[in-house]
Amino acid sequence: MRLGLAAMMAAGAAVLAACAALQSSPRDGALALMQRDFHAEGIAGMDRLKEDDVQAACNKYKDSPPAELDAKLRGKQYAGVKWPADGKLLGDWKAGEKIAQNGRGMTWRDKGGVGGGCYNCHQIGPDTTSFGTIGPSLYQFGKLRGYGTDIQRYAYAKIYNAKAYNVCSQMPRFGHVGALTEAQMKDVTALLMDPASPVNR
């Protein structure tokens, strides 16, 4: 088929207009696409497309908000960490290892609290055959950092909400978003902090 010149110019103008719109705000364009195509179902509601104050700041300032805002947001995230009611931070490392190596969770069928998928970003133990490297290796975490209460608290709170320490962290906020239960977070903390765990061998 041959296009007339006018039709070609009109098509060209439309493409240029679309490019200009994308250039002015690729983010808004992407968000509009997601809002159009994402269908709420089960636990996965439309609220997943809404950014909170931390995400908004990290998007706006390209992951490096001004120091004052950074400290304020971090403080707010830390204040939201819910500590275990019984005061115990360590559960069962064997259960923790299963959670760390399980990448499932947060789909519309899940009720929350399936897996942590830690292996996607971290080396965990010496026997892990495959792992991602977005995050630092957690091998020998307790052995290198010490097994004291302060490190236990750091590990638990980091798992609960990584943004309590690093406001634009890429690590999921497992407790904050309800991806892991309190018992599961204790189990994963034990995986990092129990001297008998493969992490510390």
Applying CB under 6 A, the residues found at the interface with ligand HEC are 100, 116-118, 120-122, 134-136, 138, 155, 158-159, 162, 166, 169-172, 174, 188, 192
45 vs 103, beta carbon nearer ligand HEC: 103
Helices then strands, each counted (H, E), the chain = 8, 0
39 vs 116, beta carbon nearer ligand HEC: 116
Assign 194 to helix, strand or coil.
coil
Q: Rg of the chain's alpha carbons, rounded to an integer?
A: 22
13 vs 177, beta carbon nearer ligand HEC: 177
Shortest Å distance, C-beta 112 to ligand HEC: 13
43 vs 181, beta carbon nearer ligand HEC: 181
Structure-token match 């978003």, residue found: 177
35 vs 59, beta carbon nearer ligand HEC: 59
Measured CA to CA, the distance from residue 71 to residue 167 in angstroms comes to 8
Measured CA to CA, the distance from residue 161 to residue 167 in angstroms comes to 10
Shortest Å distance, C-beta 139 to ligand HEC: 11
185 close to 197: Cβ distance less than 8 angstroms: no
Shortest Å distance, C-beta 59 to ligand HEC: 17
Shortest Å distance, C-beta 29 to ligand HEC: 25
Q: Which of 150, 148, 156 is nearest to 185 (CA)?
A: 156
Main-chain phi, psi angles of 177, to 5 degrees: -95, 0
Shortest Å distance, C-beta 35 to ligand HEC: 24
